[in-house]
Amino acid sequence: MTSLARYTTLGLGGPARRLVTAATDADLIAAVRAADGAGEPVLILGGGSNLVVADEGFPGTVIRVGTRGLRYGRDADGCTEVTVAAGEEWDDVVAATVVEGLAGLECLSGIPGRAGATPIQNVGAYGQEVAETITTVRVLDRRGGKIMDIPNERCGFAYRTSSFKRGPGRFVVLAVTFRLVRQALSRPVRYPDLAAELRVAPGEQVTAAQAREAVLKVRARKGMVIDPADPDTRSAGSFFMNPVLGAEEFAAVEAVAKERGLLPVPRFEAGGGLVKVPAAWLIERSGFGRGYSNGGAARVSSKHTLALVNPGGATTAQLLALATEIRDGVRAAFGVGLEPEPVLVGVAL
């Protein structure tokens, strides 16, 4: 049996009963159908950057997606469709589209993992998310055995989720098609931290290459670009999602913050009268600063409080004990529940 710790960015996870690598769509489909036919549990594994796997491992077949391919369609109305195999490294895809003179993915630079995971999580960062540019997702529907092209409007995209995530396991992503704008300039810069790095006002544009370079710098400072020499990057990225609050919920947070002299509370409009509050702000002001440890080997990153890291020697149980303490601490301090962003395999929070 093979330890899954070798295949996750956290370096955590017990053994898989069986591990299969699929280099082509045909291999991937055949492996899924064979496991389904045998009644075995199946775990689809890409880059392992968004997985928290139990110390006990996975009692079934783990299928590593190793498919490759990036194809540009014809230009039309100033846009180009780009179809990407699920197994392509995501940052390589972003880099290639920027070099090609296409805008729409540049602010998603530096995110680890494979392209097939991006629609599942509706991956987003620094004011962009893939839901804005995806046109179709090609999938294997394990329920009916058919290969389907699902258009954007049927993907159920929302903040860090989709119909693929809400119906876990039913669909296996084979390829993703994006519609990108053919232009030298980036999309308007929306995120304040990125605008500050670029020394422009929010809403302004720079070249897509400049935006990509700035994003990589900002992410690296936060330990969010994989570096084997840096234990702060041995994480699953942001462990908690930013909570989206209604008016009354946000008012309650502000009341607590006022009592403690913590105003103003940072907020971002989320539409429909809702606001998004940075989870990192809540975590830090609930007593969990950078580098925090509860005595186990897992700890909070010394660069960013949203990342929980395994600097070496941690177990999944220790990581989840830390995550539980943080979640409960934020709830006690502000009355806000935090939800984990990574996929939990064989464990729960």
Q: pLDDT digit string (tens) for 328-348?
A: 999 999 999 999 999 999 999
pLDDT band at 1 (very low <50, low <70, confident <90, very high): confident
Give the DSSP per-residue string, 71-86.
Answer: EEEEEETTEEEEEEET
Where along the chain do its domains lie? 2-65, 70-221, 231-345
Q: Which of 93, 92, 85 is nearest to 28 (CA)?
A: 85
* % of the chain beyond a pLDDT of 70: 100
Out of 3.40.50.10130, 3.30.465.10, 3.60.150.10, 3.30.70.640, the CATH code matching 70-221 is 3.30.465.10
Cα angle vertex 173, ends 170, 178, to 5°? 135
pLDDT of amino acid 2:
85
Kindly report, residue by residue over 90-118, the tens digit of the pLDDT.
999 999 999 999 999 999 999 999 999 99
- Reading the block at residue 192, the tokens are 């304040």
Out of 3.90.850.10, 3.30.43.10, 3.40.50.300, 3.90.1170.40, the CATH code matching 2-65 is 3.30.43.10
Residues known to be catalytic: 160, 238, 341
pLDDT band at 65 (very low <50, low <70, confident <90, very high): very high
CATH architecture for the domain at 231-345: Alpha-Beta Complex (3.90)
Residue 299, classed as helix, strand or coil, is: strand
- Reading the block at residue 107, the tokens are 């602010």
